[in-house]
Chains A and B, each alone.
Chain A
Amino acid sequence: MPDSLINDPVNPAVNPVEPFLRSDRMPSIWCPGCGIGTTVNSFARALIDSKIDLQSLALVSGIGCTGRVAGYVKLDSFHTTHGRAIPFATGLKLANPKLNVIVYSGDGDLSAIGGNHLIHAARRNIDLKVICVNNLIYAMTGGQTAPTTPEHSTTSTNPYGVFEPAFNLPHLVEAAGAVYVARWTTFHVRQLTRSIGEAFQKKGFSFIEVISPCPTLYQRRNKMGDGLDAMKFYKEKSKVRNGAPTSEVGLTMTGEIVVGKFVDRERPDYQTLMRAQYAESLGERFVEQAEMVCS
């Protein structure tokens, strides 16, 4: 379990993010040196900083090591099926537009099995905040190739090296229509926190990719060391280029990691467009959706 998630037995007040976690579920299942916990810390800090109404938040995960985030945050939280966090979140958001809906899931979950939902939610500009923990691998199932695994890496299903090209996720979601796109690594905790806070302020489909180590299955198999080595690697290789064209931010196994805020633009979100269309076409006959709680 990452240090940052451990309750300090001597001074329980030491960790300000603790109130956002389900302490009755600690320790987490995550391995030592795993980056997922670090991202959760940044997320929790963003909640504190943004002073967002916690009751309005709902967090949705798919399946995977990252998918377990839903189980550790003290929010209305949904651990759904593999790849389907985005459509589930879409239903939550459309049925109750007052909710602030966060999707927190892994690279495989969001871009392989859930890839179709990712691009369509971005196209529709559904007002969701997507945090994609990209550990370059299918971790939960033991280190198989993901659509994000850089060429030449070794994985359990490409034991002779990955030869298929990887997705460049910021480029993909920008092309599909996302209004906010950023990438950080788990080395960039403050920048990540700030980006999450900015995404809360946006109305529309926001996507934050966090490059995160999986020492157990990616780093180790590729002789890249442990969690600490990963931090050194990120520090050394990453280059902040806010506004970089997303076509230029594709990842390679050992090359530069371009990080920063790449896209921040305005586009009306799905529900705004839907209501405008109904109002225009139906006039007086259009009835606004009431609160749906059927009790």
Chain B
Amino acid sequence: MKADPRGVLTGVHFMDGDHACCEGALAAGSRFAAGYPITPSTEVVERFASRVPTVGGTFIQMEDELAASITLQGAVWAGAKAFTVTSGPGFSLMMEHIGYAAMTETPCVFVDVQRGGPSTGLPTLPAQADMMQARWGSHGDYEIIALCPNSPQECFNLTIKAFNLAEEFRVPVMFMMDECVGHMTEKVVIPPADQIEVVPRRHTHKPVDEYLPYETNGDLVPEMAHAGEGYNFHITGLTHDERGYPNMTPQIQDKLVRRLQNKILQAADRIAMFEEEQLEGADVVVVSYGITSRVAQRAIEAARGRGLRVGKLRLITAWPFPDKKIRELAAKVKAFVVPELNLGQMVREVERAAAGQAKTFAVPHAGGGVHNPEDILKVIVEAGRCQTA
């Protein structure tokens, strides 16, 4: 399906990542946002608040993030594509509702413009320290999808992708920006609506008496109905059967939770997106994401200038983690170098997926700024000297 032209601000713009994210949401067909102000994310909803009454839709500033993160889900069950936007402290408050969205299979997007933590931390300065929280923050076993843009242009493109993945898999998608990308202003090209592919809701066409809210037909993702259509369906965060009715048996729990995981894990290769550069013949591969990928680029080029064979793997999809890609590379390279604006989060995943086939070097940074490329370079050089594992 093509984008609704009313929401698409076609043209060449000079805008920051937060605004580009908002335009991406509008282009994706989102006409509903609920939010609560928090730096450095607020510009996304400020722009939405100003734009949405001119394209037909609603923004509501809720009393807190607990409310915002469930108001948007009510809107989804009324038929809207909806999202919320926040940063660390607000993201922490939203965790229960990420689990609710996963359990009820409510397609929606949570934007987290990451800042330094823990707690109030560094409100105006960058970090990438919510990556594990995005994956594991709510209780129980579940899978989500997380994307990491590294430019305002990608904030636009990938926000559309985030909505599309949310609809395709009926899952909450975490849009993991960082303060730098959110506040960085660059050229953003917004194509005409007929060049933007938008995934529609998996809306059921079944007659009322044949519809079961959580029946799946092989592809693991059930069809949705909306309130007001006469289906009289029931939705609950309790463990439920295909009718959507609570069922507390270990058998139904096992069936449901495994399906919620498998619908994402079995599609992991299809969901995975990277940017790759000179992986062929590389000794060392730098794995990075978000703003850090742009800082790492300097270090990678400097290392190549010194004659090192350095490949680049930029994670655009952080979750589900691209195990297969890392595993394949691990068989060929000596080491991975993983710079990130935290004290070691995604590096654990790289190390786990490499499973001892290649060494893994972290380049941690506690946040509040970006790496000095020199620090990444040093680790690349060190990694290049190591013996194959």
Contact = CB atoms under 8 A, between A and B. Distances in A.
B48 to A, nearest CB: 14
Interface string B30-57: 0110100000000000000000011111
Given A58-B228, A80-B70, A92 B77 contact: yes
A79 B200 contact: no
A91 B82 contact: yes
Most buried by A among B76, B77, B230: B77
B125 interface: no
B115 to A, nearest CB: 24
Given A91-B74, A293-B203, A79 B58 contact: no
Interface in B188-221: 200-201, 203
Nearest to A89: B74
A288 B96 CA distance: 33
B161 interface: no
B81 A294 contact: yes
Contact of B32 (A22, A24, A89, A95): A95
B175 interface: no
Nearest to B55: A287
Interface residues on A, range: 35 or more
A283 to B, nearest CB: 11
Contacts of B77: 78, 91-92
B169 interface: no
A1 interface: no
B237 interface: yes
B234 A79 contact: yes
Given A81-B97, A294-B200, A87 B62 contact: yes
Given A71-B236, A95-B75, A289 B56 contact: yes
B286 to A, nearest CB: 39
B236 A286 contact: no
Contact of B232 (A75, A87, A292): A75
A129 B62 CA distance: 19
Interface string A69-100: 01100111111110110011111111110110
B63 to A, nearest CB: 4
Interface residues on B, range: 35 or more
A74 B201 contact: no
Nearest to B34: A91
Contacts of A55: 228-230
Given A55-B228, A95-B79, A292-B31, A81 B72 contact: no
Nearest to A29: B246
A117 interface: yes
B64 A116 contact: yes
A275 to B, nearest CB: 9
Interface string A267-295: 00000001000100010011111111111
A234 to B, nearest CB: 31
B136 interface: no
Given A91-B74, A294-B29, A77 B235 contact: yes
Contacts of B72: 91
A157 interface: no
B70 A84 contact: yes
Given A77-B234, A285-B54, A293-B201, A84 B75 contact: no
B105 to A, nearest CB: 13
A226 to B, nearest CB: 27
B60 interface: yes
Contact of A91 (B70, B230, B237): B70
A119 B94 CA distance: 20
10 nearest A-B residue pairs (beta carbon): A91-B74, A295-B203, A95-B78, A95-B75, A293-B79, A79-B236, A96-B78, A87-B67, A91-B75, A91-B71
